[in-house]
């Protein structure tokens, strides 16, 4: 039972990783990992919402809607799902539906700035009559009306018939601009501060014999890389993942515990691989390295990875 729980919780980390990819602008990678993860966990709604966001950012609004609408009843209380649908319908020109979903998002969180902003573009504000000043001061009424009309002319709101008094720069807030801000502001999954790994990784790289530090998923996908840029960094990730998978399967045959770490010695370098939850930390070193020292220095990174990626 404990093993099953471990596998299940591990399997769901792909959504977190995908969110990191999205935050980094790696939309295709995010879509790929989400599709793969959803094939294994088809009922993981949060992943579907993130997938929809990814499609929305990619500009494929139909697919984004397809991802959420079948499960909308179950996720209707989710702020980002509603916001994503709102953005998609806005982009598709269906302002009625867009308005409906933005309003739903605001019901969940009345302070959602994206929804407020987007809704302002859909629903023109009622005309605010200029306040009548004190009787002794006469306001120049005509110039103000012209100013209002000018603003109305350049507004991007298609149905804005009535003049708007406030916000002199509504043009900048195009739907695209709003959507670009989406991943940071509406992320359901907490953003993953991988920068926290920089310090311990650099400390490890300070060791003379250490060439690079690579963090990847157990599936062989690169998460982060420190040190010398190697052309084949992704193939190293895939190779190490394949080796770890083989070892894990082999020891399962022996009914013994799975892999925790591994030292692979090549003629020109040594790979020290550590399993951290669902991630692999691979430290590439020179042949003359002291693996014990690498493992000690890597401990801090392992703690950080455990905290961040689980």
Partner 1 sequence: MKIKDLIKIPKVLGAGLVSDDGFIIDGQATYEYDTEKLGAIAARVVNRIKKSLDVEGASAIVYTRDNVLFLKEGAEGIIFVICQKDVNVGLVRIRLNKIA
Comparing CB distances to partner 1, the nearer of 205 and 263 is: 263
Nearest to partner 1 of 66, 248 (CB atom) = 248
List binders of partner 1 among 278-307 (CB under 8 A): 291
C-beta neighbour count of 202 within 10 angstroms: 12
What 3-state DSSP class applies to 270?
strand
- Structure letter (DSSP) for residue 218: T
Q: How far is the CB of 246 from partner 1 (least distance, A)?
A: 5
Asked if 305 and 279 count as a contact pair (C-beta separation under 8 A), the reply is: yes
Min dist. Cβ of residue 203 to partner 1 (A): 23
Which helix (H) or strand (E) segment holds residue 215: the answer is strand 210-217
Site string for partner 1, 244-283 (x = CB under 8 A): --xx--xx-xx-xxxxxxxxxxxx---x------------
Binding mask 206-245 for partner 1 (x = CB under 8 A): --------------------------------xxx-xx--
In this structure, the number of other CB atoms found within 10 A of the CB of residue 19 comes to 24
Site string for partner 1, 160-199 (x = CB under 8 A): ----------------------------------------
Burial class (CB in 10 A: 0-12, 13-18, 19+), 186: buried
Is 228 exposed, middle or buried, given 0-12, 13-18 or 19+ CB atoms closer than 10 A? Answer: exposed
Residues that bind partner 1 (CB under 8 A): 238-240, 242-243, 246-247, 250-251, 253-254, 256-267, 271, 291
């Amino acid at each position: 039972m404990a093993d099953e729980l471990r596998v299940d919780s591990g399997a769901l980390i792909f959504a977190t990783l995908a969110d990191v990819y999205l935050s980094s602008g790696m939309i295709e990678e995010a879509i790929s990992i989400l599709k793969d993860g959803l094939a294994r966990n088809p009922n993981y709604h949060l992943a579907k919402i993130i997938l929809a966001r990814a499609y929305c950012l990619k500009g494929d609004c139909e697919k984004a809607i397809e991802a959420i609408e079948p499960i909308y009843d179950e996720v209707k209380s989710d702020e980002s799902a509603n916001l994503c649908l709102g953005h998609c319908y806005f982009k598709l020109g269906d302002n009625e539906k867009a308005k409906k979903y933005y309003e739903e998002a605001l019901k969940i969180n009345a302070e959602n700035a994206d929804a407020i902003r987007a809704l302002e573009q859909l629903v023109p504000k009622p005309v605010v009559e200029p306040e009548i000043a004190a009787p002794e001061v006469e306001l120049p009424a005509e110039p103000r009306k012209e100013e209002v009309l000018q603003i109305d002319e350049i507004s991007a709101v298609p149905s804005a018939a009535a003049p708007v008094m406030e916000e002199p720069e509504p043009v900048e807030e195009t739907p695209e601009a709003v959507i670009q801000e989406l991943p940071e502001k509406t992320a359901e999954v907490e953003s993953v501060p991988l920068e926290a790994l920089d310090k311990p990784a650099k400390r490890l790289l300070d060791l003379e014999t250490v060439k690079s530090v690579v963090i990847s998923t157990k599936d062989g996908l690169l998460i982060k890389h420190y040190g010398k840029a190697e052309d084949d960094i992704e193939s190293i990730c895939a190779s190490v993942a394949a080796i770890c998978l083989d070892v894990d399967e082999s020891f399962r045959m022996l009914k013994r515990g799975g892999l925790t770490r591994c030292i692979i010695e090549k003629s020109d370098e040594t790979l020290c691989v550590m399993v951290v939850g669902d991630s692999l930390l691979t430290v590439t070193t020179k042949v003359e390295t002291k693996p014990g020292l690498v493992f000690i220095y890597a401990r801090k990174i392992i703690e950080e990875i455990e905290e961040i990626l689980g």
